[in-house]
Structure 1
Amino acid sequence: MSDKIKIGISIGDVNGIGLEVIIKTLIDTRIMNYCTPIVYGHTKVASFHRKTMDINEFQFHVINDANQAHDKRPNMINCWEDDVKIELGQATEIGGKYAFISLERALDDLIAGKTDALVTAPINKHNIQSESFQFAGHTEYIQSKVNAPDSLMFLVSEDIRVGVVTGHIPVSEVPEKITKEKILSKLELMNQSLKKDFWVQKPKIAVLGLNPHAGDNGLIGNEELETIIPAINEANAKGIFAFGPYAADGFFAAHTYTKFDAVLAMYHDQGLIPFKQLAFENGVNYTAGLPVVRTSPDHGTGYDIAGKNMASANSFREALFTAINIVQRRKESAELISNPLKLSKFSKDRD
């Protein structure tokens, strides 16, 4: 049996660009030098998308169980027997139904240890809702399934890493959700992830303010004085190198983010707008703080270009390699901890 890293892949909404970017990524056979990909969907749906791209030379190796995966081929597990009606570019109930089936099966195998990581293609957060899925998105669902007390939406690229205190909630609810305890929890998760998943030995984290001009000493809001600064001080007392709060507009405009290993934003758009502006083609959404590894491209279902062979696979490809790298770092870290002599040599080599 191969010890190559196994990456589970959920296909997302069948009416979106998920399978397009998956196929465009896996058609490069060099991928199989780094991992064994296992896609959870159905070959009929994949063939439909493959034909829209006029690709004839690509085929999935069909398996019934992740343990049967061929380590030199892109694998697919057929997760249903139904004939699925595909309506490219449309948000349909069917699209949500099969996105969930794919996600659930892939996540179950990840939790069972049959795969090493999960890369999720984009879902529609509305049509996937059902009795089985009542969550704001992938992040919240996966956190619930693995019984993690907290998680961090962590957007990463080569040039910038941004996490958020609050995720998929209305802007009107943000101020009441910003608490010292929550900021501190996200800082701890970010600090741990930077060390464990990205091998940053002494992470420096910038914290953004909530209000314009970071509150301007209370003139434009008190959240910075009453909540954010106390959280930063407590993080510092725990050995976390957190700095701020910074006014978000000037922080990004002056490229101050380049002086830090990561940035903690207070809410979704405050962090994701600059991140996507800076790294849209190669950005990755990583769910930090979980016992499992999950990544995703930083784009949505792309209904407007579905079926037109226009979708860039760059972000999905980066998500795949980010998952591979994090799994490898975690494995190597575990080996170093279990072998003190190797750890000593490793530390000297890095000095």
Structure 2
Amino acid sequence: MFRTFIRSWAIPLRPPNTIIRPTTRSFQNGATYRRFNNKQSRSFTNLLFDPVSRKYLALIFGGGSLFYVTHLEEAPVSGRNRFIWIPRSLELKIGDYTYRSMLRDTSSAILPSNHPLTKKVETIFGRILDAASKDPSVDKTQLEGIKWKIHVVNDPRAPPNAFVLPGGKVFVFSSMFNICQNDDGLATVLSHEFAHQLARHTAENLSKAPVYSLIGTIMYLATGVEGINSLLLDGLLRMPASRQMETEADYIGLMIMSRACFHPAESVKLWQRMSRFEKQTRGQVGFEFLSTHPASDRRIENMKKWLEKANSIYEQSDCGTFGSYYNNFQNSVFGSNPDAIFSFRGY
């Protein structure tokens, strides 16, 4: 989602642009011309030259800067400084609100808890959770007190999507299985979405939203132009930050799925399939600069670069013995061809 403030594989919605009202000037022959109103720009300039206004602006920006600096922390993996002020309790409340909203929209299409697909997702995600609890680099506080629940949404019309909400609610849309194709592919998607929550990317997005709004307001007051400002704000701040978070989740998820004894090399194949799907549905290769997600080709390069470490973790986890046991378990539950369930196309 991959997720809006909640990260997912879906493309996030954007707020509509503000309409700028033009002014007109008439001539004797009835012809008119239009120009943009630069009143906002003049008003902003007046504020800067007014001593009293400058004093209040200095207090506001000084206090805001202090608040910003005191709420910086180091992000996992990349080590970048990031701004987070949203408390965990508020993050969970927002996650719960989003969960109830999702249930209203999808409840009629959610498969029962005893459906084979739901049980399969539950089993795979359980292994990912167990691996995360044993990973020394994972912040265990993100796992405490969470009631995990799996939801498989059988909606053939919906695009491939999967996400994990703050509070432990997991959603996988049935169209995603055709791209995953096997357990390792599904583990790649689930571990990626799970990694967003381990890294508190939802809280980071929520924390930065007021900052982006403030910057956008200042740019509008200074220039009086909305469209170009929004494009610059997206291209220079929002989207690069989102791509950073996606890359962090790719790396964290790959290491966790490897520790959970899923084949890390499948992550490359998964993104190759996703790249083909994107090209088929969009008809052209997307530009990374204008996307909230890294280009699939870039993700494939990253995965290949990280495979050596992922394979090392896989080997250290004694996955050969576990794999034999798990295959026997899969055969007893799903039959001799457990991956055949991924051909599911709804009913």
TM bucket normalised to smaller: under 0.3
- Greater relative contact order (Cα 8 A, min sep 6): structure 1 or 2? 1
Q: Which has the larger radius of gyration?
A: 2
TM-score of the superposed pair, with normalisation by structure 1: 0.23
**Of Structure 1 and Structure 2, which has the larger fraction of its residues in strand?**
1
TM-score of the superposed pair, with normalisation by structure 2: 0.23
**Of Structure 1 and Structure 2, which has the larger fraction of its residues in helix?**
2
